[in-house]
A and B are shown apart, each in its own frame.
Chain A
Amino acid sequence: MPKDAQAMLADPGPDQVYREALNAGTFQIQQCTACSKHIFYPRLVCPHCGSNEIAWASPSGQGTVYSTTVVRRKPERGGDINVAMVELDEGVRMMSRVEGLPPAEVTIGLRVTARLVEQGENKQVIFEPAGGAQ
């Protein structure tokens, strides 16, 4: 049954659910109940089929680097960092970074595994090469 407006806007919203779970140590994505496709970032409406029947799902944490860049920064501004677009095995893509090897050595096609790290007051999902740091 599609949800009515009250059910769609019931507390808490998907961004809050996502971040509270993340800060409690669990990385979740979503899966559409109607079309079975996975969804990221968290939403109230499926971008694949338009359904509002969406469930939380546990990703395998495995993915592949779809693209990558090195953000060049002066050392006093934190130095160079990797920014990567990771495609999870569930088919969704997310921005993240790959740690465990120098930023310029992250390559497209690299298999990576998700890990949660503390960043400020929150946890964030980062990735490292599958099988551990190289």
Chain B
Amino acid sequence: MSHPLRGSTAIVGASTAGLGACPGHTEMDIIVTAAHQALADAGLKITDVDGLFSCSTVYSLATLSIGEYLGIKPKFSDSNQIGGSSFVGHMLTAAMAIQNGLCETALIVYGSNQRSAAGKLVGLPEPDFYEAPYEPKQPPSSYAMVAARHMHEFGTTREQLAQVAVDARQWARMNPEAFMRDELSIEDVLNARMVSDPLTVRDCCLVTDGGGAIVMVSADRAKDFPHKPAYVLGVGMAHWHRNISAMPDYTVSAASESGPRAFDMAGLTPSDVDVLELYDAFTINTIMFLEDLGFCKKGEGGPFVADGHIGPGGSTPVNTNGGGLSCCHPGMYGMFTIVEAVRQLRGQCAERQIEGAEIALSHGNGGRFSSQVTALLGSEATL
């Protein structure tokens, strides 16, 4: 018997807003623009929303601030903050709330003016007695040490890491919304400014502005909207640590649990997936998640990428919008994996469209390889 949440809800509205540089605007300007546009995409109004989901590194009571601004008085509200994967996780909570009749129209929204406001990744103001005294550059140094260990154990090379950035750029060049669309070669990545060895600035995600939002409703209503629904077939969550000092094994992330949980709920396997949108905060993320989610064997992510599987024309297209590496990374990127997955399932991606995409995987990462949330979305044919 299939899981009761499988296909019980669908995404009927999706939008980005202010991707790239959005100077002169507050974080809230970007959030509410994304929200308004996603609702317009669904043919809905702000007043239709009765379930509100968000989180922010600026607004500690995110859904209260957003609800107040937009005049939303939700029946169900969730500001769960587990880092950049939060919004993929919100889909699971929203599906549960809708399935149980706690709300009917769920808005999940995120936005940040990080590039214009700070120009660097925003740190979280929390006490850190056991790492901060050693002055790591966070988050890059945490991911750098994971990359170094992966290279040590499996022979993964800097060139293989660079291939991830090059493939992301190849996709970005086909996406008018992407922030960086210049040509990029493996040599460019290797010779770029070193941030925290072995990661250069081109192994690291962008720092941009931008927002995104989706609208979810029950599957019973999903066909009443302007666009083809993207059904939520499965979502799985996992986290094992917060800080990198406590990551149990630097060669395996909790995606090795979130992935199977999502696939179990959806009744699918990795070979069923047509397109992957993975949270690529750093080039090592893509390699780790391809392994942990079952698209190649553990330790073989580097050669898998080097063999040309994930770029345009490859067997396993990854980050068709250009990813956090080349499209956008406004502080937390998880929302953008969902929006691109929805657009692929709708067939809206023009030059970068994966022909016949019926099942898309959206994977969020948060913290320091900490929280992992995997979602499988599908067209009507997959129900």
Q: Contact at A70–B197, with CB atoms within 8 Å? A: yes
Q: Contact at A93–B136, with CB atoms within 8 Å? A: no
> Does any Cβ of B come within 8 Å of A111's Cβ?
no
> Does any Cβ of B come within 8 Å of A62's Cβ?
no
With A69-B197, A70-B196, A72-B193 already in contact, the answer to whether A96 and B134 are too (CB < 8 A) is: yes
> Does any Cβ of A come within 8 Å of B250's Cβ?
yes
With A66-B250, A95-B244, A108-B152 already in contact, the answer to whether A41 and B130 are too (CB < 8 A) is: yes
A53-95 with Cβ < 8 A to chain B: 66-72, 78, 81, 83, 85, 93-95
**Inter-chain contacts of A40 with B (CB < 8 A):** 130
Nearest CB of chain B from residue A70's CB, rounded to whole Å:
4
**Inter-chain contacts of A19 with B (CB < 8 A):** 129
Partner of A67, one of B133, B194, B195, B250: B250
A70 to B135 alpha-carbon distance, docked (Å): 11
> Does any Cβ of A come within 8 Å of B131's Cβ?
yes
**Inter-chain contacts of A95 with B (CB < 8 A):** 130-131, 134, 136, 244-245
> Does any Cβ of A come within 8 Å of B146's Cβ?
yes
> Does any Cβ of B come within 8 Å of A119's Cβ?
yes
Q: Contact at A108–B197, with CB atoms within 8 Å? A: no
Partner of A85, one of B133, B145, B195, B196: B145
Nearest CB of chain B from residue A90's CB, rounded to whole Å:
15
**Inter-chain contacts of B146 with A (CB < 8 A):** 67
> Does any Cβ of A come within 8 Å of B305's Cβ?
no
B195-216 with Cβ < 8 A to chain A: 195-198
With A41-B130, A69-B144, A69-B148 already in contact, the answer to whether A94 and B197 are too (CB < 8 A) is: no
**Inter-chain contacts of A69 with B (CB < 8 A):** 136, 141, 144-145, 148, 196-198
> Does any Cβ of A come within 8 Å of B73's Cβ?
no
Nearest CB of chain B from residue A109's CB, rounded to whole Å:
8
**Inter-chain contacts of A96 with B (CB < 8 A):** 134
Q: Contact at A108–B149, with CB atoms within 8 Å? A: yes
A95 to B245 alpha-carbon distance, docked (Å): 6
Nearest CB of chain A from residue B204's CB, rounded to whole Å:
12
**Inter-chain contacts of A68 with B (CB < 8 A):** 145, 148
A-B contact count (CB 8 A): 71
Q: Contact at B141–A85, with CB atoms within 8 Å? A: no
**Inter-chain contacts of B246 with A (CB < 8 A):** 93
Q: In the complex, which residue of chain B has the Cβ closest to the Cβ of A97? A: B134
With A69-B144, A104-B197 already in contact, the answer to whether A94 and B250 are too (CB < 8 A) is: no
With A66-B250, A85-B245, A95-B244 already in contact, the answer to whether A71 and B129 are too (CB < 8 A) is: no
> Does any Cβ of B come within 8 Å of A28's Cβ?
no
**Inter-chain contacts of B131 with A (CB < 8 A):** 95
Q: Name the residue among B134, B145, B146 with the largest chain A CB count within 10 angstroms.
A: B134
A133 to B279 alpha-carbon distance, docked (Å): 41
**Inter-chain contacts of B245 with A (CB < 8 A):** 41, 85, 93-95
B43-85 with Cβ < 8 A to chain A: none
Q: Contact at B145–A119, with CB atoms within 8 Å? A: no
Q: In the complex, which residue of chain B has the Cβ closest to the Cβ of A82? A: B134
What 10 A-B pairs have minimum CB-CB distances, sorted nearest first? A67-B145, A69-B144, A70-B197, A67-B149, A108-B152, A95-B131, A83-B136, A41-B130, A69-B196, A72-B194
23 residue pairs A–B, Cβ–Cβ below 8 Å = A66-B250, A67-B145, A67-B148, A67-B152, A67-B250, A69-B198, A71-B136, A71-B137, A71-B196, A72-B193, A72-B194, A81-B135, A83-B196, A85-B244, A85-B245, A85-B250, A93-B246, A95-B245, A97-B134, A104-B197, A119-B133, A122-B133, A124-B134
Q: Which residues of B contact A (CB under 8 A)?
A: 129-131, 133-137, 141, 144-146, 148-149, 152, 193-198, 244-246, 250
With A41-B245, A83-B135, A108-B149 given, can you name 10 additional A-B contacts, CB distance below 8 Å?
A: A67-B148, A67-B152, A67-B250, A69-B196, A71-B141, A81-B135, A83-B134, A85-B145, A93-B245, A95-B131
Q: Which residues of A contact B (CB under 8 A)?
A: 15, 19, 40-41, 66-72, 78, 81, 83, 85, 93-97, 104, 108-109, 119, 122, 124
